Amino acid sequence: QAPLAGRVALVTGGSRGIGAAIVRRLAADGAAVAFTYSSAKDTAEALAEEINQAGHTVLAIQADSADEEAVRAAIAETVQHLGALDILVNNAGVAHVAPLEDFPLTEFDRMIAVNVRGVFTAIQAAAPHLGQGGRIITIGSINADRIPVPGVGVYSLTKAAVAGLTRGLARELGPRGITVNTVQPGPTETDMNPDAGPFAESMKQLMPLGHYAQPADIASAVAYLARPEARFITGTSWDVDGGFAV
Ligand code: NDP
């Protein structure tokens, strides 16, 4: 039997990149999966259609993670269409890189709104629907722990914040049999961080494995944490980074 058969998952920011790989993987492992996106409607609907045609169950929902009403509505829609939620994956995230002296506060606020507040509001809205065996998995970043280039301080702040939130909520939700973990990717080939150009070359030199992750590499760690057999893993931040943090 598929390891996630009968489970219902919601992935935020699932239309592209790492989120799309997580949607594909959880669906292939047998879960019914809803995912949100903010603007890429055509991409999102094409992804859902492709996976549904392969015989799985996937639902695309427009919801900006910075809008708490939209996040709550997405969770309600997931429960209504797919049934009680078992797995929440907080993947939606944005990055802005700029030096301290030029860093726009609008970008600071946007990163906090999506990467931190959006994660919190999704967990707050999902928690009442999660039962024994529930899973909350947040995509942080290895930049929470290692920042080898300038300009990434605010992004790092947001990813360190969700690692802390993970530990605190693991404590709070553990008695209900719900695990809470963070996966911290290293450089991963997506629109946010293309595997090309001089920036990518310098990143590769920092990694013992010497190459970028593919989104599926991150999805496989998420899929493992989502499985019933990962029931004793909680409050951790898993580095899936090709050794970036070494
Ligand atoms: P992409 O920019 O390639 O994709 C982002 C996805 O999130 C898209 O599906 C996008 O949907 C969605 N999204 C963006 N903003 C919002 C929002 N406000 N509300 C809802 N959905 C939103 O990013 P990645 O796949 O690279 O990154 C995914 C996660 O992984 C992020 O949290 C990122 O910080 C983290 N990460 C990425 C690394 C990398 O090297 N790529 C390394 C470490 C961590 P739409 O197109 O509709 O806007």
Question: Which CATH number does the domain housing residue 67 bear?
Answer: 3.40.50.720
ipTM over 0.85: yes
Overall domain count for the chain: 1
In a domain, 239, yes or no: no
In a domain, 2, yes or no: no
The reply to whether 224 belongs to the active site is: no
pLDDT of res. 198: 74
- Ligand 1 atom with least separation from CA of 17: 25
The whole domain housing 15 covers: 8-231
- Ligand 1 atom with least separation from CA of 95: 34
In a domain, 1, yes or no: no
In a domain, 85, yes or no: yes
Map residue 104 onto helix, strand or coil. coil
Closest-CA residue, ligand 1 atom 31, reads: 93
In a domain, 212, yes or no: yes
Choice from 10, 11, 12, 15 to test ligand 1 binding pocket (greatest atom count within 8 A of CB): 15
| pLDDT less than 50: residues of the chain | none
CA 143 – ligand 1 centroid, Å: 15
With 0.95 as the threshold, say if the pTM is over it: yes
Query: Quick check: CB of 90 below 6 Å from ligand 1?
Result: no
